[in-house]
Amino acid sequence: MEDSRCPADVQCIHAGRLIVRATVMGGGWSKQLDLTLGIPVLVADGMLTLVNATPASIVGASASTARFSFRFQGGR
């Protein structure tokens, strides 16, 4: 996981990005993908997008100690 998003409690010039490595499974197959927040990725016959992650980045907090929740959206 890479989390260089702008912390929620500061104003940034560059928004940064969030990349999550996920294993996607389907009928008899699995594929490991790096998903970047807001960018659709082709999976089988559709698209998969990482659409949200919580908590937001906070100044001084380490991503390695945070417990994250992710929301994905899939479709054709």
C-alpha distances in Å from residue 62, one per residue of 5, 22, 30, 71? 12, 20, 30, 21
Q: Say whether pLDDT at 3 is over 60.
A: yes
Alpha-carbon gap, residue 35 to 51, rounded angstroms: 10
What average pLDDT does the structure give for the chain? 83
pLDDT above 80 (res 9): no
Domain count, the chain: 1
Return the pLDDT at 58.
60
Residue numbers of the domain that contains 10: 2-75
Average pLDDT over residues 41-58: 85
Give the pLDDT confidence score for residue 64 in this predicted structure.
Answer: 56
Predicted confidence at residue 25, as pLDDT, reads: 92
Res 18 pLDDT > 70: yes
